[in-house]
Amino acid sequence: MRHNFGAGPCILPQEVFKQASRAVLDFKDGLSILEISHRTPEFEGVVEEATKLVKELLNVPSGYSVLFLQGGASLQFAMVPMNLLPEGKTAAYLETGVWANKAIKEVKFFGNANIVASSKESNYTFIPKDYTIPEDSAYFHCTSNNTIYGTEMFTLPVTKVPVVCDMSSDIMSRVIDVSKYDLIYAGAQKNIGPAGLTIVIVKDEILGKTGRGIPSMLDYKVHIEGGSMYNTPPVFSIYVAMLNLNWLKSKGGVAEIEQENKAKAEALYKEIDRNPFFKGTCAVEDRSRMNVCFVMENPELEKSFAKFADDNGFEGLKGHRSVGGFRASMYNALPITSVHALIDLMQTFEEKQK
């Protein structure tokens, strides 16, 4: 068995894989989930249940719609300004890494992006705190968890401006107050399910105000009216997401998994801070619970630790090329036993150097 610390697509629960593979062979009367129409009552029931689970697990208030879309979080970088930013107007963006930058890049097709704060100077090792969001901004956009750098936003700025958040890599990992957001989006391939699906949670009243014509497939309102079935949805990804969200519910939901995620992160950061061979790369107060980034005090030992980890069954620990070193991604399905195994590995490595 390998310990899967990959950043995404990533570990999902084994029982979800088993249930999903059974449905590939026989979902309904001997027919595979891959060969039935998305218009069958059975599949409509899947979308209904998946929607209900998202609402229940995140305690989504009334007045919000939950959508299952395609195109990844990356399409949302453009869909957000297309649907929310009137021509020539300005939206406020917090620049906390590559993904925030890719979001900023798309704004120019619709209006202007005002970067209200940035941690670029330090290669995004912290979350900027003291900044003001101009009140005439069409919205404020932030990235709650910066997958590449291992920083996470645990508080939101106080603002009257609508808040839009890319939650791709920490959605469903901790309790959030959805009423503080106007639009949340997330590529599914971390804590929700397989790649190919994007979740959007949007406050209905913010839509339809740009005065711009929007192509149907890119219009949130069209997808709301179509119940995420305006066109053929990513049937299998939605099905597996439903299974995975049911798994999360059976574990006690988001509040319960948050405690586990806290315990996993605390244990690993404690070892990084204790072990003289390793050091963390981010500001301590902004350390992500999902992606733990660390380097070696002596960079010459990196290759040797990477090989040691690989030989001992660890997968996906290599840091992103823009940061280097190591990144342990610890999404919901990663058991704490894998984290303890990584800590043991780091301690054994330390002993071996003596």
Q: Is 43 in the site for ligand PMP (CB under 6 A)?
A: no
Q: Are strands 278-280 and 3-4 parallel, antiparallel or unpaired?
A: unpaired
Q: What CA–CA distance (Å, rounded) separates 216 from 134?
A: 31
CA dihedral 8, 14, 15, 19 (to 10 degrees): 70
Q: Which residues are catalytic?
A: 99, 166, 190
Mask 102-141, x = binds ligand PMP (CB under 6 A)? ----------------------------------------
Stretch that binds ligand PMP, among 10-18, 69-77, 107-115, 229-237 (CB under 6 A): 69-77
| CA neighbor of 192 nearest in space, from 131, 239, 145 | 239
Q: Establish whether 73 is an annotated binding residue.
A: yes
The torsion defined by the Cα of 157, 158, 162 and 167, in degrees rounded to 10, comes to 30
143 binds ligand PMP (CB under 6 A): yes
Q: What angle do CA 106, 282, 248 make, to 5 degrees?
A: 75
User: How many residues of this chain bind ligand PMP (CB under 6 A)?
Assistant: 11
Window 154-183: residues binding ligand PMP (CB under 6 A): 166, 168-169
Of 72, 81, 128, 234, which one interacts with ligand PMP (CB under 6 A)? 72
- Region of 31-39, 70-78, 110-118, 300-308 interacting with ligand PMP (CB under 6 A): 70-78
The least CB distance from residue 290 to ligand PMP, in Å, is 9
Among 16, 54, 60, 73, binds ligand PMP (CB under 6 A): 73
Please tell me whether residue 187 binds ligand PMP under the rule CB under 6 A.
yes
4 binds ligand PMP (CB under 6 A): no
Residue with tokens 């997958």: 147
User: 153, 172, 173: which is closest to 163 by C-alpha?
Assistant: 153
Region label for 261, one of left (φ > 0), alpha (ψ between -120 and 50) or beta (otherwise): alpha
Find the shortest distance in angstroms from Cβ 104 to ligand PMP: 12
Residue 147 in contact with residue 93, Cβ under 8 Å? no
R_g of the chain, CA atoms, integer Å: 21
- Report how far residue 117's alpha carbon sits from residue 127's, in angstroms, rounded to the nearest whole number: 9
Compute the distance between CA of residue 87 and CA of residue 94 in angstroms, rounded to an integer. 21
Distance in angstroms (rounded) separating the CA atoms of residues 268 and 266: 6
The verdict on 27 binding ligand PMP (CB under 6 A) reads no
Cβ closest to ligand PMP, residue 23 vs residue 54: 54
Task: Considering the complex, state which of residue 137 and residue 151 has its C-beta at the smaller distance from ligand PMP.
Answer: 151
- Residue 39 is assigned to a ligand binding site: yes
Cβ proximity to ligand PMP, 128 vs 187, nearer residue: 187
Total residues found in the chain within this entry: 354
Name the residue with tokens 């919000």: 64
Min CB(167)–ligand PMP separation in Å: 8
347 labeled part of a ligand binding site:
no
Which residues of the chain form contacts with ligand PMP (CB under 6 A)?
8, 72-74, 99, 143, 147, 166, 168-169, 187
The annotated binding site for pyridoxal 5'-phosphate is made up of 73-74, 99, 147, 166, 189, 231-232
